[in-house]
Amino acid sequence: MQDTGRKIIHVDCDCFYASVEIRENPDLRGRPVAVGGMPDQRGVIATCNYEARAFGIHSAMASAYARKLCPDLIILKPRFDLYKAVSREIHRIFADYTDLIEPLSLDEAYLDVTECDKCHGSGTLIAREIRARVKEATRITVSAGVASNKFLAKVASDWNKPDGLCVVTPDQIDDFVRQLPVRKLHGVGKATAARLKRMGVETCEDLRQFSLVDMTQYFGTFGSRLYELARGIDQRPVEVSWRRKSISVENTYDHDLPDIKAVQLQIPDLLDELRRRYEKIQREYAVSKRFVKIKFNDFTQTTLEELCALSEKELYSPDYFIKLATKAWERRKKPVRLLGVGFRLHDLKPPEAQAQLELFES
């Protein structure tokens, strides 16, 4: 098992958007609350509180279906300016303990507090103090995981939610990881979990029965990653520089796009918005690929991408995106509820010049 000597904290706000809304309107406390799109507009749930989760509601669920599960569900439209302001407060607290902060979103981040001498240098005490300060300053709760690497810290932060703290000490790593379901491993989605289950693997202890050679043969380079995670090994540093990998525009339609012709007609409008967004950052990023994302009316989705030339004429040509969209649609040939277009990006800044991506930019 791995003891890196590092002290990593993963902090995750509890039902962040919903918690902020309940803070703003205490009358909502104790009632099922979700933040997201409206049911009559093909909206989806962004997050919900635990009262709503008791009905089986979760993020990315269609709002209309969520309302069927819980007729009394209160669905609020997102107020991102408000959430960003609260997130700034929380990050100012983080900065009192370390400069090594890797934000993953508005509501979660990794902190490397290895060199922090506050709280007697104890990662556990630092996490406890951060949680108390966030609660006092923002009146919302956060959960935290403390461990010697990012993988373990992130799993631990989810262990005692909500408003919880879980610490995995070096001598606990083996027992902690051994019992973990493989679906908890970073990068394991439904398809990989199903494949592992067919191999008789449901826990990390099961996974340890396979050698590194076996895992590489079965899963390629990802196999070696799985091999290490099943043993609690994660060498990734906390990355202060957090840069874009892609940029995209997507739209969920009030009514399904019934056929490929209807899909193709939507491409130019999406490209106009993509152009507007990319022009804001084109000095920092070059385009390497174009891609199309389609979510069908049965909620299955597919993404198709291709290398593209850098000339502006070809970059925004509807013809290329229409061809991609047509190929992607032919994989299912069903009505489409969501359509997106985007670019994969290459960072033009050298590593030493990269500044942390501003999570709070408009």
In which residue are the tokens 């198709």 written? Answer: 304
- Which residue among the candidates 102, 108, 250, 352 is catalytic per the annotation? 108
The rounded distance, in Å, linking the Cα atoms of 154 and 224 is 20
Give all strands (DSSP E) within 219-313, no chain letters.
Answer: 246-257, 285-296, 301-307
Is position 272 annotated in a ligand binding site? no
From CA 54, how far away is CA 64, in angstroms rounded? 17
State how far the Cα of 173 lies from the Cα of 2, in Å rounded to an integer: 8
Start-to-end CA distance of the chain, whole Å, equals: 43
- Annotated active-site residue 108? The verdict is yes
Report the C-alpha gap between 60 and 168 in whole angstroms: 30
Q: Are strands 165-167 and 142-147 parallel, antiparallel or unpaired?
A: parallel
Which token pair is 108? 């979660």
- Rounded CA-CA distance 102/110 in Å is 5
Q: How many CB atoms lie within 10 A of CB 65?
A: 14
Q: How far is CA 179 from CA 9, 169, 187, 190, 205, in A?
A: 21, 16, 18, 19, 7
263/325 Cα distance (integer angstroms): 8
Nearest by Cα to 214 from 202, 230, 227: 227
Q: Is 174 annotated as a binding residue?
A: no
Question: For residues 45 and 19, what is the distance between their CA atoms, to the nearest angstrom?
Answer: 14
β-strand pairing of 33-36 with 74-76: parallel
Nearest by Cα to 153 from 307, 322, 2 = 2
* Cβ atoms within 10 Å of 8's Cβ, excluding its own: 28
How many Cα atoms within 13 Å fall on the side-chain side of residue 117?
A: 0
The residues pairing with 252 across neighbouring beta strands, listed in sequence order, are 338
Residues annotated within the binding site for Mg(2+) are 12, 107
Residues annotated within the binding site are 12, 107
Q: Which residues are catalytic?
A: 108
